[in-house]
């Protein structure tokens, strides 16, 4: 499906540009955006190196295990396939915590580590049930405090920059709960089909 979306976006864009005469803009976008993507990846190095370093220390010091133990009841219900005390649990928790506080920069490296651990558990290049649940949680956003948005609102002189925290939390709860339910629905459906 991702192949279809990826090719589809480019195909629709190019065909539309042929008809609308915007080919020069498309041409420019191809080279400019690939440059931007490289800048983004290079920019990720700093965050990845720092956080993966710190997280390795946390793992060696046993902090991830303690974290995983504390929240075990809740998280093991969401991820029934992951053995208790497995390092994946610790990384999942660190990722979820960072997300809750709107620390996207710290959340990404921990999320990747969590994925890596889950891949070791499944041992294939097919997404496992836990991976998809984890992805669903991340894509629906778990942010309680949308720091970036508050900053933008302050910049444009909002009377009350934080007044949207309440609506954001409600909308987030709805979208995250739905994500979990949709994830479960597709899991049981694909199970019934025997995939």
Stretch touching another protein by CB under 8 A, among 73-81, 82-90, 126-134: 126-134
When asked if residue 171 is in the footprint of another protein (CB under 8 A), the reply is yes
Task: Report whether 17 contacts 25 (CB < 8 A).
Answer: yes
Q: Closer CB to another protein, residue 55 or residue 75? A: 55
CA 14 and chain centroid, separation:
29
Rounded CA gap, 95 and 21, in Å? 45
When asked if residue 89 is in the footprint of another protein (CB under 8 A), the reply is no
Which residues are CB-contacts of 79 (< 8 A; sequence separation ≥ 6)?
88, 89, 92, 130, 133, 134
* Residues within window 1-20 making contact with another protein, judged by CB under 8 A: 1-2, 5-7, 9-10, 12-14, 16-17, 20
Name the burial class of residue 26, with classes exposed (0-12), middle (13-18) and buried (19+) by CB atoms within 10 angstroms of its CB.
middle
Which one of residues 70, 103, 121, 192 is an interface residue with another protein (CB under 8 A)? 103
* Residues within window 42-81 making contact with another protein, judged by CB under 8 A: 42, 44-45, 47-58, 60-63
Q: Closer CB to another protein, residue 10 or residue 74? A: 10
């Amino acid at each position: 499906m991702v192949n279809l979306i990826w090719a589809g976006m480019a195909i629709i864009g190019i065909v539309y540009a042929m008809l609308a005469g915007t080919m020069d803009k498309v041409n420019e976008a191809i080279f400019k955006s690939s440059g931007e993507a490289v800048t983004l990846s290079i920019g990720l190095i700093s965050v990845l190196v720092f956080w993966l370093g710190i997280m390795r220390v946390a793992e060696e010091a046993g902090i991830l295990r303690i974290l995983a133990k504390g929240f075990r009841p809740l998280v093991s219900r969401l991820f029934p396939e992951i053995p208790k005390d497995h390092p994946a649990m610790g990384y999942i928790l660190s990722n979820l915590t960072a997300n809750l506080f709107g620390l996207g920069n710290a959340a990404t490296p921990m999320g990747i580590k969590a994925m890596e651990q889950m891949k070791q558990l499944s041992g294939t290049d097919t997404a496992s049930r836990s991976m998809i649940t984890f992805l669903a949680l991340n894509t629906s956003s778990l942010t309680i405090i949308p720091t970036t948005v508050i900053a933008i609102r302050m910049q444009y002189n909002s009377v009350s920059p934080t007044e949207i925290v309440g609506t954001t939390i409600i909308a987030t709860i709805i979208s995250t709960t739905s994500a979990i339910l949709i994830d479960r629905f597709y899991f049981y459906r694909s199970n019934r089909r025997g995939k």
